[in-house]
Amino acid sequence: MRVLTAEWEVLVIDLDGTLLCKQGEVSDQNLHALDEVRDCGVEIVVATGRCFAECKHIVDTINHNGVCITAGGSQLTDCKGNSIATNVVDQSIAEEVTLQVLRRNLRCLLLKDTTASETQYVLVGDSPLHQASQWWFKTHDISILEVDAFEDDPWPEHTLRVGAVAQEEQLLPIATLLKTTLEGRAKLQHWSAVTATHATSSSTHLLEVFNHSVNKWSMLERHLGDSLNRKRIAAIGDGLNDIEVLKEAGLSIVMENANEDVQHHADVLAGHHDKHGFAHAMKRWIVPGLTRP
């Protein structure tokens, strides 16, 4: 029997660009590293920009039995996808963003809390759905409801995220406008989409709007409550939506493939996500002090 000890109580793990390779898969090396972390008694918290339905197959693959922080921090679920806590978008803000998206002849995507609604996304408008969204919904078997206008949404009070997918030049004017009009009222993100290389070009971007207080760290605080000890929390990620948790964690590990803005918040830099950088980081900084009798 192995006797394992670790310095860390909680490890917060991002998925895309961190645990997953470019093909959206978990390597054997990364799976083994996760097992090593679990053997230490470290609580693993999955924290991703995906909704639970979009990452369920990953959760199953890694045999995760803890909580998941999903949709960029707007929902906390158990490992089966049951909602524990949510942070929804104000209805007036959701409508404001939707109208701006529709004015640019784009489809607006409203991510829902499926414990309170009957579908994962409500799609507003009659513009063609971007090919990246078509591929994403089909690949992950996502349920959708299509409506003509915002007021046709049956669950306006249960929106976790308002978004759109299009080419960068189409979304940039909307993002620029909303950055000003939503300042202090909502959180806005505009960045490259995660897509298969065969499905769309690299210029495909996401526009995402959340409740102003949404981020992965704030939802982690809700999960841990009085037991939170940031000095015993490690976090690993690569994206802009990881910055808050990287800033607050006792150890922030940033992937080599992250941009400079994210790397700025690193205590240590891991390898590339396409070269098992996650596994190497676990062995170097999370479980280096293992003892095996």
Q: How many percent of the chain have pLDDT more than 90?
A: 88
CA angle 254, 205, 27 (to 5 degrees): 45
Average pLDDT over residues 163-173: 93
91-211: CATH, from 1.10.260.40, 3.40.50.2300, 3.50.30.50, 3.30.1240.10: 3.30.1240.10
pLDDT grade, residue 192 (50/70/90)? confident
pLDDT of 198 reads 37
The confidence score (pLDDT) of residue 291 equals: 40
The domains of the chain are located at: 10-86+215-286, 91-211
Q: If you write DSSP's letter for every residue of 40-61 in order, what string do you get?
A: TTPEEEEE-SS-HHHHHHHHHH
Average confidence score pLDDT of the chain: 92
pLDDT computed for residue 205 by the predictor: 87
Q: Which fold has domain 10-86+215-286?
A: Rossmann fold (3.40.50)
- The pTM for the full model equals 0.92
Q: What pLDDT does residue 203 have?
A: 67
125 by DSSP, 3-state: which? coil
